[in-house]
Chain A
């Protein structure tokens, strides 16, 4: 069942993402975000790395304690 959900998720996300990002395709900063989305990806990844780092430190501390 989860394979079907994965398929449906990807199938619906692809066209929606394309439609939403059309302003980015026409010309930069045409949408209300005004180009700030450039920062979105690096920020998401920074967040993921920080969360992983905090988890690691927490597990280290719990091992020591």
Chain B
């Protein structure tokens, strides 16, 4: 299957990415606009108000009162995490503009795969990913216990790929909305993040999802819930070894390195993008509901 066929087979996912961009990133930010219209918020909408990292931080540092005072963020995080439990991390796989942009850049730039980072052992990838997640939670517990000042938490936007994306979008599309012109938190940290997200995580990482795999706490949290949901029999990807011809096509297309050496799927990494389902020539990989064959 060539690139155009893959593109055609997965066209709904790519269209969905464009919708995700329009829903979340300013000057469009249509979903945030709707939320602000409902709640009567007069601020200029941007992806900051759909921050998925801060509420996770609030939960882990015990600042539950913030969850009540920022209902738009709370609603968003509950929506994304709830979806992950019942339908898998479809926000990551189908809507997230940060993952979409790095994945797109990785596909557009034809760098030979031998120059790309690709860990084939799903256990190592999971260990690194959840190790980072544990480190991230540690920082929030330290902040929560007041062992460090609140100021550590206050600068995290400078290390956020969504902020960089928002800045890039403001530069490109800002003219569409003259009231929106803010380029925030631009400094060395932003450049480090830009390079980690798009150059190392995008161009130099197989599949272009290096940022999502190793640095996104929401992605890691969503996948943990997906793992639980898959065990409970909610919507998930399943592998039928009797149908598999071991052609390895699924390994080649998976942007999250989630296919194990026996071609079954590691739900701690999979984002339910269905690229593998669409390319599998024998139908060994399918999406399923129900208790039958729930992953162990």
Select A6's contact among B127, B142, B191, B192, beta carbons within 8 Å.
B127
B128 within 8 A of A: yes
Cβ contact within 8 Å between B192 and A21: yes
* Shortest CB distance B106–A (Å): 15
Cβ contact within 8 Å between B127 and A41: no
Spot the interface stretch: B7-15, B89-97, B133-141, B281-289: B133-141
Cβ contact within 8 Å between A7 and B127: yes
Q: Which residue of A lies closest to B189 (CB)?
A: A24
Cβ contact within 8 Å between B132 and A11: yes
Residues of B within 8 A of A26 (CB): 155, 158, 187
Q: How far is the CA of A12 from the CA of B132 in the complex (A)?
A: 8
Q: Which residue of B lies closest to A5 (CB)?
A: B127
B195 within 8 A of A: yes
Q: Which residue of A lies closest to B142 (CB)?
A: A15
Interface residue tally of chain A, by bracket?
A: 20 to 34
Q: Given that A3-B124, A25-B155 are contacting pairs, would A35 and B188 also be in contact in the complex, using a CB cutoff of 8 Å?
A: yes
Chain A, residues 14-40, CB within 8 Å of chain B (1/0): the string is: 110011011011111100000101100
Residues of A within 8 A of B196 (CB): 41
* Shortest CB distance A15–B (Å): 5
Cβ contact within 8 Å between A37 and B188: yes
* Shortest CB distance B251–A (Å): 20
* Shortest CB distance B6–A (Å): 27
B4 within 8 A of A: no
A57 within 8 A of B: no
Cβ contact within 8 Å between B115 and A9: no
B204 within 8 A of A: yes
Q: Given that A3-B124, A41-B200 are contacting pairs, would A24 and B187 also be in contact in the complex, using a CB cutoff of 8 Å?
A: yes
A54 within 8 A of B: no
Select B123's contact among A3, A22, A24, beta carbons within 8 Å.
A3
Q: How far is the CA of A28 from the CA of B138 in the complex (A)?
A: 26
Cβ contact within 8 Å between B135 and A11: yes
The 8 closest A-B pairs by CB, nearest first: A10-B131, A14-B135, A25-B155, A6-B127, A28-B187, A24-B189, A7-B131, A24-B188
Interface residues of B (CB under 8 A from A): 114-115, 123-124, 126-132, 134-136, 138-139, 142, 152, 155-156, 158-159, 187-189, 191-192, 195-196, 199-200, 204, 214
List 13 additional A-B contacts (Cβ < 8 Å) besides A10-B130, A38-B188.
A2-B124, A3-B124, A10-B127, A10-B131, A10-B214, A11-B135, A13-B135, A14-B131, A18-B139, A25-B159, A25-B187, A37-B192, A52-B115
